[in-house]
Amino acid sequence: MSSDISRKGYNVKALRFLAWKRQNGHCYFCDRPTWLPSTGSGEPDSMATLEHLLDLDRGGSWHGSNLACSCLGCNNKRAAEKHAERKGDRDLIQQYSRSAP
């Protein structure tokens, strides 16, 4: 199995590219310019990662409305803090809940 495919069968590389393109190459959280791993150049902390806005273990999905491109710095920060415990994320969860299909 390719390293780009998750255990659920989603093509993470393609989904990351679509989110990155939709956000004009900027981090969803800090609006910092990001770069794709396939381009191989840039500051390590600004590498684009795929982020679930609402974590899978909290009921989130692989649907495009729940996916965003974030810089590695924001991804690591979010991983260290639980999603629902941060004030900004509570607003994000409410926003996602209203817009989810």
Whether the pLDDT of residue 99 is over 50: the answer is no
pTM equals: 0.70
Q: Which residues of 72-98 are buried (b: 16+ CB within 10 A; e: fewer)?
A: bbbbeebeeeebeeeeebeebbeebee
Query: How far is the CA of 39 from the CAs of 34, 47, 48, 50, in angstroms?
Result: 11, 10, 11, 16
CATH of 12-99, one of 3.40.1800, 1.10.405, 1.20.1740, 1.10.10: 3.40.1800
Query: Looking at residue 79, what is its pLDDT?
Result: 77
What pLDDT, in 10s, does the model give residues 6-57? 556 788 899 999 999 999 999 999 999 999 988 878 888 899 999 999 888 7
Tell me how far apart the alpha carbons of residues 47 and 75 are, in angstroms, rounded to a whole number.
Answer: 10
CA distance 19 to 25: 8
Give pLDDT, residue 58.
81
pLDDT at residue number 2: 43
Q: What is the rounded CA–CA span in Å between residue 45 and residue 95?
A: 27
Domain boundaries, the chain: 12-99
